[in-house]
Amino acid sequence: MKRNLYVSAAVAAAVALLAGGPAAAAVATPADAARTAPAAAPAAPADTTAEGAAAAALKDYPGVIESLDRDGNVWHVDVVTKDGKGHAELKVDAANGKVTRENVDTDEDAGEHKDLLAAKVTAEKALKAAVAAHPGEAWAVEWDSDDNGKSASWHVEVRGSDGKTWDGSVDATTGKVTARSDSDDDYDNG
C-alpha cells in the first residue's frame, strides 16, 4: 500500500534552508515571502525651492509674482492677477508645497501694477538669472519699481553653499544682474 506524504510549506522551507541556504528557502516559498516582505519606506519629501514655491503659488492663484521670500519652513508669495485688479498673499509650505491663501483682494488699482505687469523679466526669470550669476539657492525676490528715476528691477537674495547671502538686482527689461550696494538696500528682510 502506498502512502501519500504531505509536507507543509513551512517544513519544506525549513528543509530548503538547511539544505541550500537562504536563496533556496526564498525559491521554495515565493508566495509566503511576498506576503511577509516589508513595504518600502516612502521617499522623504524634497524641500520646495523658490522655483517650486513660485509654480505652486501661480497654480493656486494665477497671475504675476510680485514678491517671494522664505521665512523658516514657509515661502511667502505675493501674486497680482494679470489684469492688475487682484492681489493675493499666499504661504507655501517648504516641506510639502501646500499653498494656503492668507489674504485675497479683488479691488486693486490696476494702475499701481502696470510696470510689474509690463516687465519683460518675471520674478521666475530674475531668480534664474541671479542664481546663474551667483550660484546658490534663491531665497527671495521682490519687485522694485523705484520712484527716484531708476529703472524697475528685481531685488534677489541668493544664499551660497557657504551660508552667506548675496544681494543683487536684476533689470526688469534686460535681465542684467548686478550686485546691490548698501545704498540700494531698502529691502525689508523682516
Nearest 5°: CA angle at 190, between 165 and 111?
100
Would you state the cell numbers that stand for residue 151, as one nine-digit string?
529703472
Ordered mean pLDDT values, 10 residues apiece, the chain (190 residues): 43 45 45 45 65 97 97 96 96 96 93 93 97 94 78 94 92 93 44
Helix (H) / strand (E) element for 126: namely: helix 123-133
3-state SS of the chain: helix, strand, coil percent to 5? 30, 30, 40
- Predicted structure pTM score: 0.70
Dist. CA 115–CA 173, nearest whole Å: 10
**Class of residue 19 by CB neighbours under 10 A (exposed 0-12, middle 13-18, buried 19+):** exposed
| Domain extents in the chain | 1-39, 50-184
According to DSSP, the residues that pair with 93 across neighbouring strands are: 74
Helix (H) / strand (E) element for 78: namely: strand 74-80
Per-residue model confidence (pLDDT) at position 11: 42
Q: Do 179 and 133 meet the contact criterion of CB atoms below 8 Å apart?
A: no
Per-residue model confidence (pLDDT) at position 145: 85
Helix (H) / strand (E) element for 141: namely: strand 137-144
The DSSP letter of residue 5 is -
